[in-house]
């Protein structure tokens, strides 16, 4: 709870409703009623067993139809803003250009940032050629947060940067294809490519 704003906490755990339920309890203890109710409404936390009975009883007057009490609904800017920028800049917690941007290294987001979700596309073939011909690449992945080591969700998005392009590869969508698996195997086993994480 000590790390980040309520907006960041919601964004970090939006796929894990049990954790959101615990966060709601803490928000109510801090008298962050509008934040708590906005998250409950946005994620339908009254449906299911995500909130303790005492919490559910406390918030129901605000969320029943029609409500008997009112609150101020707060949007989460990380869900509503369509910005390709670091979270702290999107939220106004840091000045623009505080962080390194792709444009700082000569990459045009509209032209050189390439999204790939199909192994049969020309973009996939060109990406493979480009990536496998590099001496070094930047590499990162995003994935669904796991609550335990037994949860298996796999990689959601693979991000690979060359000197001139940045590739966003939807691994969840194409991970079961032979072309994708051959590409990943060749990439990680190549002695000629240095992978920087």
Q: What is the pLDDT of residue 82?
A: 62
What are the per-10-residue average pLDDT scores of the chain (197 residues)?
79 88 95 96 92 95 94 88 69 75 78 92 95 94 59 70 91 89 94 91
Q: Phi and psi (nearest 5°) for 141?
A: -135, 155
CATH class of 103-196: alpha beta
Residue 72 CA: distances (Å) to CA of 27, 35, 41, 63, 141: 15, 9, 12, 12, 36
Predicted local confidence at residue 189, as pLDDT:
94
pLDDT of residue 91: 72
Between CA 133 and CA 195 the distance in angstroms is 13
**Cβ 9 vs Cβ 23: under 8 Å:** yes
Half-sphere exposure of 162 (CA within 13 A, CB side): 18
């Amino acid at each position: 709870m000590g790390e980040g704003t309520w907006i960041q906490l919601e964004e970090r755990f939006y796929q894990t409703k049990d954790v959101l339920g615990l966060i709601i309890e803490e928000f109510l203890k801090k008298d962050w009623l509008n934040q708590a109710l906005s998250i409950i409404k946005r994620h339908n936390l009254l449906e299911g067993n995500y909130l303790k009975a005492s919490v559910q009883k406390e918030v129901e007057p605000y969320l029943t139809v029609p409500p008997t009490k009112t609150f101020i609904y707060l949007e989460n800017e990380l869900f509503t803003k369509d910005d390709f920028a670091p979270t702290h800049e999107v939220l106004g917690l840091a000045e623009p250009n505080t962080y390194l941007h792709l444009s700082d290294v000569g990459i045009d987001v509209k032209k050189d940032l390439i999204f790939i979700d199909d192994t049969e596309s020309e973009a996939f073939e060109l990406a493979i050629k480009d990536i496998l011909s590099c001496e070094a690449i930047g590499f990162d992945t995003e994935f669904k947060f796991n609550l335990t080591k037994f949860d298996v969700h796999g990689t959601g998005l693979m991000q690979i940067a060359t000197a001139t392009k940045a590739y966003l590869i939807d691994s969840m969508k194409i991970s079961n294809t032979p072309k994708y698996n051959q590409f990943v195997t060749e990439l990680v086993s190549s002695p000629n490519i240095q992978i920087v994480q």
